[in-house]
Amino acid sequence: MSSDHHLAAIMFADIAGYTAMMQEDEQSALALLSRFKEILEENTAKFKGHIIQYFGDGCLLAFDSSVNSVESAIALQKAFSETPAVPVRIGLHLGDVIFRNENAYGDGVNIASRIESLGISGSILLSKPIRDQIKNKSDFLLASLGTFDFKNVSEPMEVFAVANPGFVVPKREEMHGKLKDIPNKSGRLKLFVSIFLIVITGLIFWNVITHKNSPVKTATPESVTQKSIAVLPFTDMSPEKDQEYLGDGLAEDIITALSEIKGLKVIARTSASQFKGKQIDLRDVGEKLGVNTILEGSIQKSADQIKITAQLIKVDDGSHIWSDRWIRSLKDIFIIQDEISGIIAQKLDMAFDSKSEKKVRQVNPDAYDAYLKGRQLFFTGLPENVMKAKDYFLYAVKKDTTFAEAFAFLSFAYGTLGQTIYPSVESKKREIAIDSALQMAKKSIGIDDNNSTAHIAITIVYYFQYDWVAIEKELRKAVEINPGTLEKVELAGFLGDFGFFEEALSLIQEALLLDPLNTGTILSYAGILRLSGKTDEAIIQANNVLKIDSLSMGAYTLLGHCYADKKEFNKALLAWSKQHEAYGNDELAEVYRHADFKTAMKAWLKQATTPNAPISANDFTIAYIYSMFGDKENTFKYLELAYKKHHGNFLMMNTSSNFDFIRSDPRYTVLYHKLGFDKYDKYKGVRKPEF
């Protein structure tokens, strides 16, 4: 092929899991590779394509049109599915390509390779440019998978999957390709939890993790004697497999209901969802989660009707304690949830807390559907999805003005926008978002004061206002209503930062029993251990997180601070180099590997204080680093900037010895009062610090 430069449809295809196949059975793997190449060579020319290059178990191809590339991909996957099947994933992109010396180069090739890396066996993924070329072709059914931030690609890209019958559409949690390494956010309220977990330790970029790696034991009980249950996400039984949000929402709401059964240990959704979509051994699940019963089931919606099945299973022998099915209107979803939780209480010979007031109600089907879709988007933690989630919640409260849960999540969405997506001090959007968060939370509480989610949502606003008294009252109210994982983690973090370590550690340990595989909860525990002076124990917990997620920036960040506290600066720099490496900041990672501590910190400050800083840093963190050098002027400069920008990290000012050298300065006294700490001192009866 002569040197050429033009627009082309590029295809990447490779055998999923080929390396593992080679390790298990080299001869069979080589036979599959031979079949892979044979099918490619038989089919490609039929669609006016040509094979550019083989590399290992993969292949790069080019086509003269988007339509031909998609038709070829469909034909190939059909051929690969025939016995003996070859597990292949395919990625397509239309872009500028340079053809030279029988090879292809350029962004078009790089992007196609990144799209293909997201795929799973049997899938065909494609970029928006390909989709735009074929969207009017009725033969192609496509499903949007959302936007992704690929490595070395400046703008996020929307990715689509071929959704024709018989083709695999990957779920978001199954897609782990060549993406930028940014802090992931999950948990019961992924993005919101990350905001408050940052508050817990001030400097930690919590990587709550996403459940992509094999779970390990962290805080599971030594034996399961207490009555206990894990609710697995309900399986989506719809033909299109587009109702996953219903199964997740049903499981979450049943967990909330079961939490009101006195004496029953209920595992949080974040840990239970580790086993979603996997072939599982119930005894293994029981051991990892520390439970003796499991609830699992399925759900399918058709128009305004839902079909639900549920089974309560004993972990030790897999026998069914109870099973049932419902075919009802979607508006009866809360009634079904109450029936399921009531039956479970009966079967386990337990009772709801007498203080809990059960409110059986119906919900507008359209409102509930929108609410669940919004909640699923919100949990991803992606800014664009938070914006979309807000719109779903707005629709839900418009359709049902008494829907307390939707108002609470609308408050979360507005609060998140105000705290993270509209960060400018001058931004009117930020002020409007924070005010809207306050109004929506008050609306939710007005409808149902027994709603712990709303009481936590309103604390976003109070953090913004530095109203520590109101925060503690609301968090304690939330724990009183629902002593679940999120509620206890938030209160524990708050108390830890004010130095009430005994209560904070007790709360966080209780949370871990309910959510043993949630890396965010483990990191929260480690952060409080560090603040309380139990540095070695904090290091153990941070390493537990790395067993679950080896790229957890939060764990590496915390390890660095722990080793710095112990004056083991070489270990601190090594941990921080891995943190920056995970973030993609190779320049700083290299400095940390070879420089001394002071030089490395100055390199960090240089990056952090430049416009459009290439690292994730806020003004409070910059002030903290300057405090390490005893630089009083820059410490105060960035503390003041952090105050103006409402960084919640200020809680750490109470417990960190780094700021001891400025406490006698009159400017510290002024800042202390502006931050409202003196009011909190009076509220708690704590002696006001002497300056």
Under the banding of pLDDT at 50, 70 and 90, the label for residue 687 is very low
Under the banding of pLDDT at 50, 70 and 90, the label for residue 201 is very low
Structure confidence at residue 538 (pLDDT): 96
Structure confidence at residue 83 (pLDDT): 85
**Rounded average pLDDT over 22-31:** 79
Structure confidence at residue 215 (pLDDT): 36
| Summary mean pLDDT of the chain | 82
Q: Is the pLDDT of residue 649 over 80?
A: no
Helix extents (H) in 400-516 = 404-416, 428-447, 452-464, 468-481, 485-497, 501-514
Q: By CB neighbour count within 10 A (0-12 exposed, 13-18 middle, 19+ buried), where does 593 fall?
A: middle
Structure confidence at residue 181 (pLDDT): 47
Under the banding of pLDDT at 50, 70 and 90, the label for residue 668 is very high
Please report, rounded to a whole number, the percentage of residues in the chain having pLDDT higher than 70: 84
Q: Is the pLDDT of residue 487 over 80?
A: yes
- Return the domain boundaries, the chain: 4-174, 228-349
Structure confidence at residue 567 (pLDDT): 92
Under the banding of pLDDT at 50, 70 and 90, the label for residue 23 is low
Structure confidence at residue 212 (pLDDT): 31
Structure confidence at residue 332 (pLDDT): 84
Structure confidence at residue 504 (pLDDT): 94
Structure confidence at residue 123 (pLDDT): 92
pLDDT in tens, 544-559: 998 888 778 889 999 9
Say how far apart CA 447 and CA 602 lie, in whole Å. Answer: 52
The whole-angstrom distance between residue 198's C-alpha and the CA centroid of its chain comes to 14
pTM of the entire predicted model: 0.65
Q: DSSP letters along 590-624, please?
A: HHHHHS-HHHHHHHHHHHHTSTT-SS---HHHHHH
Please report, rounded to a whole number, the percentage of residues in the chain having pLDDT higher than 90: 34
Under the banding of pLDDT at 50, 70 and 90, the label for residue 225 is low
Structure confidence at residue 189 (pLDDT): 41
Fold classified for 228-349: Rossmann fold (3.40.50)
**Rounded average pLDDT over 121-147:** 85
Under the banding of pLDDT at 50, 70 and 90, the label for residue 191 is very low
pLDDT in tens, 140-171: 888 888 788 776 676 778 888 898 888 888 88
Name the least confident of 53-62, 149-158, 236-245, 585-594.
Answer: 149-158
Q: Look up residue 209 and give its two tokens.
A: 């993790």
Instruction: Return the SS3 of 431.
Output: helix
Q: Is the pLDDT of residue 188 over 90?
A: no
Name the least confident of 45-59, 75-89, 393-407.
Answer: 45-59
Under the banding of pLDDT at 50, 70 and 90, the label for residue 243 is confident
Under the banding of pLDDT at 50, 70 and 90, the label for residue 421 is low
The 10 Å CB-count burial string (b at 16+, else e) for 596-615 is: ebeebbebbbebbeeeeeeb
Tokens 């976003």 correspond to what residue? 460
Q: Is the pLDDT of residue 199 over 50?
A: no
Say how far apart CA 369 and CA 41 lie, in whole Å. Answer: 46
**Rounded average pLDDT over 439-443:** 94
Structure confidence at residue 636 (pLDDT): 95
Q: Is the pLDDT of residue 611 over 80?
A: no
Q: Look up residue 116 and give its two tokens.
A: 């293909």
Fold classified for 4-174: Alpha-Beta Plaits (3.30.70)
Q: Is the pLDDT of residue 361 over 80?
A: no
pLDDT in tens, 286-324: 888 989 999 998 999 888 788 999 999 998 888 889 999
pLDDT in tens, 376-399: 888 877 777 888 899 999 999 999
Structure confidence at residue 614 (pLDDT): 56
Please give the DSSP secondary-structure letter assigned to residue 104.
Answer: E
Which of the residue ranges 92-106, 543-557, 610-624, 667-681 has the most confident prediction, judged by mean pLDDT? 667-681
Structure confidence at residue 613 (pLDDT): 58
SS3 content of the chain, % helix, strand, coil (to 5): 55, 15, 30
Structure confidence at residue 626 (pLDDT): 93
